[in-house]
Structure formats: C-alpha cells, structure tokens
Amino acid sequence: MKDETRQHLALGLTSIRHNHHQTVASNVIQLTLKFVNVCFIEEPETQRWILIDTALSRQEKKIIDCARYLFGNRAPEAIILTHGHFDHIGSALPLSHHWQVPLYASDLELPYLTGSRAYPPANAEAGGGTISRLSPLFSRGPYNFNGVLSPLPEDGTVPGLATWRWLQTPGHTPGHISLFREYDRSLIAGDAFVSVQQESLRRVFLQRPQLSGPPRYFTQDWEHAFESIKKLAMLSPSVAATGHGPPIGGPGLTDGLKSMLAHFYSSNTPYAP
C-alpha cells in the first residue's frame, strides 16, 4: 500500500463529519477541515487578506470555496505556514498555484519544506491514545516547495498585513511560528498549543475544548515547547485560534494557559497520561 493511501486510511478514522467556518475575532475566520484548522485574516481598510496553513492534502477546493464566500474573487496576498507538518501544508502547492501567491514559513522550517530534511519519526507511545498509535503512518516529508516558498521577513512583519506580527514559537517543530494582533490581542497559535487534545481519537472526534500542549507524537523539543507557550501566555491573548480544536478565549484561555504551564511536564509531555 502506498504511504499516502495508508495515511488517508488512518485519517479517515479520525474524520470529523462537518467542515465549517467560524469567527475567531474581527476579520479572523477559522475554517475546520476534518480535524485541522486554517485561518483567513483580513484587513478591511486595504481589502487585503492572507491564509494561515492549508490543512491536509486535497482540501484546496473547500478552502477556495470558503475564500470565495468570504472575499469574492480577491486572491490572498500570501499563504503563511505555521510549520511544515503534513496536516498544515497538505494543500499548500495547489493553493499557491491557484492564486499565484507565495508561501512563507520561518527560515528555521525551510529544510523540511525544501526537500532537504524529513521530520523525525513520530512517537507512537506519546499520550497513549489511538491517534498517537497511528502517528507512525503519517507523512514526515521532506516536502519540496522550492520556487514558491520564501522565508518570513526577519523583522516580524507579516507579508501583506500591517496589523499582525509573527513570532518564533519553536518546540513542536524547530521553525514553528505563531501570529499576534496587538490591538485586540488576537492570537493564532498554530500547534504551539491546541484546544482539543490530539492524541485521543475520542477527544478529536468529539471536539470538546480542552487546552493542551502541542500534539505529543510529533513534538520535537519539550523545553522549547514549554518556553513558547510561556511566551504566548505573556502576550495575554484575548482569544486564540489553534491548529486543532475550536477558538478559545476569556477565562478558558487565560486560566487554561496558566494551568497548562503549571502542570506542563506532568500532563503534556510524551509519557504523561
């Protein structure tokens, strides 16, 4: 069986039946495709928008349809990848070709996205859930986006948008990034932390919100992951869109981040229950 076929079979088990979009904050829309989120961010003054992440492969039509519903025929300024895992970059190439727009990622993530390095093997034991056990079937790359991929600007600016900044949040992967809008403290966390624990098939299926550290089976450096969550908590975000799970704000986010940091090594690292 081809790698991709096995992966899709595995992921078929975890499909959430409904794909839907919802508002995270003003001009920030999250679209959930199966168990993964992508985000559309707009600046209405300039009529510019960008896409954050691209979900699994073969999701481009759903993303384009949603974009058309939100923005008519306006193409985005850019597609930004929080990191290079298969469930965030799956539809990146067809979308980049369709809209004729560049992809951006942190320079530290480029080796995984320019054909030179695969992600390390997944940890099937991490967290003890069904998805962790399936995780060795997931693609680890390397992916090759040469010709359409550029490093994000070093000064933290976001191509095409004036009110957002990107910041390094390594740990889950070396070049993982998050995005932040200062004026209303909106955060796009990527997989630095998530709002539905990813290791358990049951939790993923139910999509019941629970703030949790990065998906354990694929997290490369737990100390960096901890520091990154601390860095994001110190921004005092009012609301967060994460790579997996519903948007979360208010005390659920503030208290959730505090308690996650307080119990980080006992409840989030690979061998915690």
Q: Cα dihedral angle (123, 129, 133, 139), rounded to 10 degrees?
A: -70
At 162, give phi and psi (nearest 5°).
-90, -25
Cα 242 to Cα 189: distance, rounded to the nearest angstrom: 5
Whose Cβ is closer to Zn ion: residue 77's or residue 191's? Answer: 191
> Does residue 39 sit in helix, strand or coil?
strand
Q: Which of residues 156-215 bind Zn ion (CB under 5 A)?
A: 191
Q: Which is nearer to Zn ion, 85 or 224 (CB)?
A: 85
142 is written with which tokens? Answer: 């390397």
Q: Closer to Zn ion at the Cβ: 49 or 86?
A: 86
Rounded least distance, CB 119 to Zn ion, Å: 9
**Is residue 109 part of the contact set for Zn ion (CB under 5 A)?**
no
Cβ proximity to Zn ion, 70 vs 124, nearer residue: 124
Nearer residue to Zn ion within complex by CB, 191 or 199: 191
Position closest to Zn ion via CB = 85
Nearest Cα to Cα of residue 52 among 125, 103, 93, 94: 103
User: Least distance in Å: CB of 84 to Zn ion?
Assistant: 8
CB 83 → Zn ion: shortest distance, Å?
Answer: 6
Q: What phi and psi, each to the nearest 5 degrees, are found at residue 143?
A: -105, 155
Q: How far is the CB of 63 from Zn ion (least distance, A)?
A: 18
d(CA 41, CA 241): 11
Token couple for 227: 């520091």
d(CA 142, CA 40): 26
Nearest distance from C-beta of residue 215 to Zn ion, angstroms: 5
What are the angstrom distances between the C-alpha of 207 and each of 15, 16, 235, 262, 273?
11, 8, 26, 24, 19
Q: How far is the CB of 123 from Zn ion (least distance, A)?
A: 13
Least separation in angstroms between residue 75's CB and Zn ion is 26
Residue 130 or 242: which CB sits closer to Zn ion? 242
Local structure of residue 23 (DSSP, 8 states): E
SS3 per-residue string spanning 120-158: CCCCCCHHHCHHHHHHHHCCCCCCECCCCEEECCCCCEE
The residue (of 160 and 174) whose beta carbon lies closer to Zn ion is: 174
List binders of Zn ion among 50-89 (CB under 5 A): 85
Report the interface residues with Zn ion, using CB under 5 A: 85, 191
